[in-house]
Structure 1
Amino acid sequence: MKKPLVGALLSLLLLGAAATPAVAAPTAPSAPTATAPGATAVAVTYAGTVALSNCSGSVVRAPASQPGDLALVLSNGHCLESGFPAAGEVIADRPSTRSFSLLNAAGSKVGTLRASRIAYATMTDTDISIYRLTRTYAQIQSQYGITALTLGDVRPAQGSAIKVVSGYWKRTYSCSVDGFAYRLKEGDWTWKDSVRYTSACNTIGGTSGSPVIDTTTGKVVAVNNTGNEDGGRCTVNNPCEVDQNGNVTVRQGINYAQQTYIVVPCIAPGNTIDLNRPGCTLPKP
């Protein structure tokens, strides 16, 4: 995992570099991805991103969210203030008073937002946390001039140009979707249909929870969460890809994200998370 920054160094000291007998060569650097014919690339800035105490995140809205809805913040499940959820654990509608530093387009802090609930969080099948804030989208827009990022409602395409925008580091990584991992296994956790970046997105600790933004639509298509640091095989900080036949591939230096279009069907009117809505496939408690 692109671990919370405080834990990253400790983890490296404790785990060391794991060895594996068969390591795939890192994906070769690719040329910048061209925008599709007729499409215009949108300007991707830090506006709407947030810095957590240990990770990155973003203020997000579903396509049907309303200005008067209490806003949501998206990050990783492994960025929770309570620590990593266990494999199989799902957290829903739990009180939280966590604070977030809201950034403007230039990456400067313009205010502090506060959560009222952890609306949803898990590290099972995906690695996400969704916080419900105490302020509405309209209030945030009025006070800070910041508009929430919109969650895309379709699966990203291979080859799509993307940017990973870290509010923690105020750093942006540009690359493209190299492909998808049928299963991505890291330690006790397994994630489904993960986005694999081309090598230019060499994300680091503290970038966990960063929104992955499609540069053609400007929408959030994934949330950054992990990468294989040392070439280890399926260990913490060294995820491996597992295909439909159980074959394992290790790609040292390559990083990954979890798709977010699956979140959209679970967001009900009023911006509440309803795991029983039609089309919602997020794991249930």
Structure 2
Amino acid sequence: MKRPLVGALATAFFGAAAVTGFAAAPASAAEAPSSPEAAAAPDFAGTVALSNCSGSLVKMPGSKASDPGLVLSNGHCLEEGMPEPGKVVVDQPSSRSFTLLDAGGGDAGTLKSTKIAYGTMTDTDVSLYELDSTYEEIKKDTGIDPLEVQAEHPEQGTAITVVSGYWKETFSCSIDAFVPELREDGWTMKDSLRYTEECETKGGTSGSPVVDDSTGKIVGVNNTRNENGEECTLNNPCEVDENGKVTVHEGIAYGQQTHTLTSCIAAGNKVDLSLPDCKLPKP
């Protein structure tokens, strides 16, 4: 988990652009060449690049074309820095810009937020930005459709692709397991996705959508990787099972499930934490 960059001296956390723990992007990332495998399916249409992380333009199962668009990323990618354990951000004004990509990874346009609709690093690592334009306006201006967030819990063994808009690079593997608790420094995440070893994510991939290869729907958001085998430290998440046993998998990367978001979205694409089936942490 990489700390988002604040100038050249910042370190990286959970998938943001520095290295991969919480992986934020390095200052030189914008100059990095695209990977030769970047065109692999799923493609980049609907993904976004942040200043230090990756993300995606998303819709929920009940979203309408006339609703304001939403951008999904990590809680540790918020422009204000990583929320402390227990903190939940709701409806906070934000004027952040996102570069929307087309299928080939080209610049399709710029999206702008009006607020952080939701953000936290408690139980998960997620942020949702509400945009100043609707899906139909975005489609008209850019030709790009949003990616849909799957409402159901994914299954073990599902073939997935982590699609990084920051690097314009993809990482393909499978869901290896579901981790009851994933701990990193002072943060605890629940029911996390553990990837098989082929997904060697890196700094800047934080916030990337985790896409089910068979459906094209988002089942998670990429956020961290154990960098050097340490136990439960920053950039070195550890797994804790139901009996409290701690396990470390050096080099293995993780994501947070996103089906939990779909039960917390009301009409108009508004986050409503009071909905009866909503289990997201509350302020």
- Give the structure-1-normalised TM-score: 0.87
- The Cα of 1:180 is off from its aligned counterpart by 1.0
Which among 44, 47, 56 is matched to residue 54 of structure 2? 56
The residue number in structure 2 matching 1:4 is 4
Cα distance in 2 for partners of 1:121, 1:7 equals: 23
Q: What is the letter of the counterpart of residue 48 of structure 2?
A: V
Residue by residue over 1:221-249, the C-alpha shift from the partner in whole angstroms, topping out at 9 and shown as x without a partner, is: 00000010010100000000000111000
Cα distance in 2 for partners of 1:103, 1:188 equals: 34
Return closer, same or farther for 1:145/1:127 CA change in 2, 3 Å cut-off.
same
SS at match of 1:141: helix
The residue number in structure 2 matching 1:146 is 144
Matching of residue 249 in structure 1 with residue 247 in structure 2: yes
Runs of 4+ in 1 over 6 A off after TM superposition: 6-9
Cα distance in 1 for partners of 2:7, 2:256 equals: 21
The residue number in structure 1 matching 2:93 is 95
Which among 124, 134, 137 is matched to residue 136 of structure 1? 134
For structure 2, which runs of at least 5 residues remain unmatched after alignment? 13-39
Which among 72, 83, 103 is matched to residue 105 of structure 1? 103
The alignment yields a C-alpha RMSD, in angstroms, of 1.5
Is the Cα–Cα contact under 8 Å of residues 57 and 74 in structure 1 kept in the other structure? yes
Cα distance in 1 for partners of 2:195, 2:58 equals: 22
SS at match of 2:145: coil
Is the Cα–Cα contact under 8 Å of residues 4 and 81 in structure 2 kept in the other structure? no
Residue by residue over 1:32-67, the C-alpha shift from the partner in whole angstroms, topping out at 9 and shown as x without a partner, is: xxxxxxxxxx94110000000000000000011000
Q: What is the letter of the counterpart of residue 239 of structure 1?
A: P
- The Cα of 1:254 is off from its aligned counterpart by 0.1
SS at match of 1:270: helix
Cα distance in 2 for partners of 1:80, 1:214 equals: 25
The residue number in structure 2 matching 1:15 is none
Return closer, same or farther for 1:168/1:5 CA change in 2, 3 Å cut-off.
farther
The residue number in structure 2 matching 1:114 is 112
The residue number in structure 1 matching 2:184 is 186
Which among 159, 163, 166 is matched to residue 161 of structure 1? 159
Matches within 5 A, 1:1-285: 1-4=1-4, 11=11, 43-285=41-283
How many pairs are equivalent? 256
SS at match of 2:262: helix
Between the two proteins, what is the percent identity of the paired residues?
60
- Give the structure-2-normalised TM-score: 0.88
For structure 1, which runs of at least 5 residues remain unmatched after alignment? 13-41
Cα distance in 1 for partners of 2:137, 2:88 equals: 30
